[in-house]
Structure 1
Amino acid sequence: MYKFQCNEIDITIIFPTSVVENLKKFRQTIFKKEAGGLLFCSNPNSNQINISYISSPSIYDIRSKYFFKPDEKISQATIDRLFHQGHYYVGDWHTHPEKVPTPSEQDKKTICDIYIKSNHHLHYVIILIVSSEKDFSKSYVALADGNNLYSCRPM
Structure 2
Amino acid sequence: MANDNVTIYLKTTINQAGESEVFEFDTTGEVLIKDGVVFLRYTEVIAGQSQTKVLFKIAGDHARLNRSGEGSTKLAFTEGQRLPAHYQTPAGQMQLETYTTTLSSQFDLTQLSGLANISYELYANDAIVGQYDILLQFSQKSSKLN
TM interval, short-chain normalised: 0.3 to 0.5
Structure-2-length-normalised TM-score: 0.32
Q: Give the structure with the larger helix fraction.
A: 1
Q: Give the structure with the larger strand fraction.
A: 2
Q: Which has the larger radius of gyration?
A: 2
Structure-1-length-normalised TM-score: 0.31
